[in-house]
Chains A and B, each alone.
Chain A
Amino acid sequence: MNLREEQVLERIDRARARKPRVREEHITLAHGAGGKATRTLIEAVFLEEFANPLLDPLDDAARFTVNGGDLAFTTDSSVVAPLFFPGGDIGDLAVNGTVNDLAVSGATPLHLTAGFILEEGFPVADLRRVTASMRRAAEAAGVDIVAGDTKVVQRGKADGCYINTAGVGLVHAPPSGDLRPGDAVLVTGPIGEHGVTIMLARGELDLHADLASDTAPLNSLLADLRDACPGAIRKMRDATRGGVATVLNEMASGAGLAVVVDEDAVPVRPAVRGACELLGIDPLYVACEGRAVVVLAPDAVDAALAALRSHPLGADAAVIGRVREDPPGLVLLRTSFGGTRVVDLLVGDPLPRIC
């Protein structure tokens, strides 16, 4: 390592720390993929206008106190295609999305709202399937859907059905929020199943695998975890768009610390690994809808794993890495092959490689 290279890398760090700008004239799909482009859009457009102390941390839910009660409040929209896929559909995704955002904020979800944007011509039978699935998901999570809204748009102006949910929850013991060197990084189950299931369900790949979406409500699992290691949880996030890699990057850059992940320790089912190998996609970037990344104090690891693994949703929970001091803001991967590399935020969606 020479001095000049070090200087160049410092220059890059300064460039990366600059305020982001949206250079595109139009919204592209990358802006919705959860990676760098999404981050830029949020910071340069939404935060620019909406900035306030509750929003600014860009956590999964805003936390505030009303009349002495600690509340968490959040929202989530679902726009998945196809609407029905192995393991779930847009309905349970919409419920679980908001439930999980509340759960990782340390809250018990209480009430949800549901807003529907329906396309002219959408079969009522399909809508009934979706709402039945939402009811089941709400029951499973122990929440009620207490308010709603319906809009119908002309044929061709929407893809069948879009659902927005918002939810409020009661905060018990929120994660402390401060990562420290030495902390353990866990995932609550095998990663990438939802994203790969959706890719295969679109039927464009002529690939078939025995896979189902991992969509699930995480509140009871995370409540068990909280009870098993009170005060030890630093941060929790559900690894949706952008996958575990994106969550870890946001944690590392937020804390100004490094996260070092052991590739061998990351639980990935063989069918997910196989599909990702074929497509040239890294499972670390593939979306989950029922998996959380948890950072906790190192002495709480045994209790945490025991609690997670005794819950049906956490049977394959594993420690995948550690928080380190250096290099600040980066996620590093110790590869199965025995090498190391940086795991950066993607610009947009992971695109299949052909060459």
Chain B
Amino acid sequence: MRFVDEYRDAGKARALAASIAALCEPGRSYTFMEVCGGHTHTIYKHGLEDYLPECVTLVHGPGCPVCVIPMGRVDDAIHLASRPEVIMTSFGDMMRVPGGRGSFLDAKAAGADIRMVYSPLDALRIAEREPGRQVVFMGIGFETTAPSTAMTVLRAEAAGIRNFSVFCNHVTILPAIKAILDSPDLRLDGFIGPGHVSTVIGCEPYRFIARDYGRPLVVAGFEPLDLLQSIHMLLVQLAEGRADVENQYGRVVPWHGNAKALDVIGATMEPRPYFEWRGLGFISHSALRLRDAYAGFDAERVFDVPGGRVADPKACQCGEVLKGVLKPWECKVFGTACTPETPIGTCMVSSEGACAAYYNFGRFTRERVREATR
């Protein structure tokens, strides 16, 4: 397949792996966080860690948007979906994410009208087709998906569609990275920057990570060779004693981002004073809500939303896993009480979450798998 296979070439991977190994100083270990859940998925799907030396550890960061939605927000969304006039629409990723009292799939089974869509525009089309119902779109995701939600709100306004609203859970990546950097038990040597988010925000906003925290960041693409090359670039920076922001994904990510997409977000949305992240707690200015001018499209203002808060379960150590302090398997409930079928914490929720990825794909030690597949 063109534009895919050339980024999955095993020969090139072996060559990169060799120069990655050569860059590692003996006796030193390196811990890098891939911020984005899409990267976590790529790492496990392709078995990328087999190419890394033992001294390089990847920590799976908070960039899985469904994983970080707190349980209270899921409960609120289900509360909305359970109103007889409401059709809740959502991306497939969200369907299995549990709140305090079950997931969208459970609510659907109990009678709520919840439909899977592939774009917010699909939700708007449902609203046009069913004028007697209230269609709510569950807006989730980082700066990657926020522009499409924003565009849909603008389009709904232009078309005068009044039975459409957004339950806005869009989050922004920088405050989350900053929260991780500010954590006293931080053990990261560098970041693999989120490729999709960066197509919107560009590379410039990551400067503070290099400047104020002395950590390198390389914005990376989503094919396995992209990731290997990014790790290589991080190691080169460390070997040279540098901490810079670099762009490995130049074929897609413009250095200054996408001004149009940022304008659309800015026109319709504003930062919330604070927002709760599952596993990380409250982070200020880390999420978006619709501006007052678009209050009529804001499900939180159109409907009465309880705004309940459900504390993360005590046994859950997702926060430590997200910060790289614990490996997934080091969590007390990993794989026993907390599994992909019955997730307790954020990291086990989506296949992009660190624990779910480890449980589904990596549960076997590299040595045993290598032995078996030799």
Contacts and interface: CB of A to CB of B under 8 A. Distances in A.
B365 A337 contact: no
B105 A30 contact: yes
Interface stretch (A103-111, A212-220, A324-332): A324-332
Contacts of A25: 106, 110
A327 B92 contact: no
B373 interface: yes
Interface in A173-196: none
Given A347-B340, A355-B65, A15 B118 contact: no
B91 A354 contact: yes
B45 A341 contact: yes
Interface stretch (B36-44, B71-79, B257-265, B294-302): B36-44
Interface stretch (A5-13, A75-83, A140-148, A308-316): A5-13
A341 B361 contact: yes
Interface residues of B, number: 68
A253 interface: no
Interface in B166-212: 196
B24 to A, nearest CB: 19
Interface string B83-97: 000000001110110
A153 to B, nearest CB: 19
Contacts, number: 168
A352 B92 contact: yes
Interface string A16-44: 00000001111111100000110010000
A340 B1 contact: no
B372 A338 contact: no
A330 B372 CA distance: 11
A339 B49 contact: yes
B14 A354 contact: no
Contact of A260 (B38, B102, B362, B372): B372
Contacts of A270: 1
Given A1-B366, A1-B367, A332 B92 contact: no
A24 B109 contact: yes
Given A352-B92, A355-B64, 9 more contacts: A23-B342, A28-B105, A326-B368, A327-B369, A330-B364, A334-B373, A338-B47, A344-B360, A344-B363
20 contacts: A5-B365, A27-B109, A204-B117, A326-B372, A335-B47, A338-B47, A339-B50, A339-B224, A340-B370, A342-B362, A347-B96, A348-B96, A348-B105, A351-B95, A351-B116, A353-B92, A354-B91, A355-B37, A355-B142, A355-B352
Given A332-B373, A337-B10, A9 B363 contact: yes
Contact of A12 (B44, B66, B336, B373): B336
A337 B4 contact: no
A340 B360 contact: no
Contacts of A67: none
Interface of B: 1, 4, 8, 10, 13-14, 37-38, 41, 44-51, 64-66, 91-93, 95-96, 102, 105-106, 108-110, 116-118, 122, 140-142, 144-145, 196, 224, 329-330, 334-336, 339-342, 351-352, 359-373
Contact of B364 (A335, A342, A355): A342
A182 B349 CA distance: 36
Interface string A88-112: 0000000000000000000000000
A340 B92 contact: no
Nearest to B4: A277
B41 A11 contact: no
Q: Which of B10, B117, B359 has the most CB of A within 10 A?
A: B10
Interface in A264-278: 270, 273-274, 277
A205 interface: yes
Contacts of A326: 368, 371-372
A182 to B, nearest CB: 13
B109 A352 contact: no
A11 B93 contact: no
A336 B225 CA distance: 12
A1 B367 CA distance: 7
Q: Which of A8, A11, A204, A355 has the most CB of B within 10 A?
A: A355
B109 A337 contact: no
B1 A5 contact: no
A30 B224 CA distance: 30
B129 to A, nearest CB: 13
A258 interface: yes
B51 A339 contact: yes
Contact of A344 (B108, B117, B144, B361): B361
A277 B46 CA distance: 13
A208 B373 CA distance: 37
B93 A355 contact: yes
A270 B2 CA distance: 10
B195 to A, nearest CB: 12
B373 A355 contact: no
A104 to B, nearest CB: 27
Given A1-B368, A11-B336, A327-B364, A340 B106 contact: no
